[in-house]
């Protein structure tokens, strides 16, 4: 499913808004490295593939900006293992 993903640079995150709820993946940039800190999907929005869409968008942004990626977020790490195409970006 396609979602309208907004890049909220002020908050350092990619997000999907649905009514009053917001799913997001947050990040911090340190030089040439982007760290994906947290992925969150509100309970009412889970099971729709939003987290995967957000993380995919975040990796596309990383490719565009030529960032190396680090993450302490378990969802992002699982995503990388599942979809090997982003493994080369990991630092």
CATH architecture of the domain covering 6-89: 3-Layer(aba) Sandwich (3.40)
pLDDT digits (tens), the chain, 91 positions: 789 999 999 999 999 999 999 999 999 999 999 999 999 999 999 999 999 999 999 999 999 999 999 999 999 999 999 988 889 899 8
DSSP H or E segment with residue 43? none
Sign of CA dihedral 85, 45, 74, 70: positive
pLDDT of residue 1: 76
* Whether the predicted model's global pTM rises above the 0.85 cut: yes
pLDDT of residue 84: 85
């Amino acid at each position: 499913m396609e979602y309208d993903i907004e890049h909220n640079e002020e908050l350092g995150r990619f997000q999907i808004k649905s009514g009053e709820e917001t799913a997001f993946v947050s990040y911090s940039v340190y030089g040439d490295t982007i760290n994906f800190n947290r992925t969150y999907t509100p309970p009412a929005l889970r099971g729709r593939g939003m987290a995967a869409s957000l993380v995919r968008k975040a990796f596309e942004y990383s490719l565009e900006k030529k960032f190396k990626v680090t993450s302490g977020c378990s969802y992002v790490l699982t995503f990388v293992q599942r979809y090997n195409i982003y493994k080369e970006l990991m630092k």
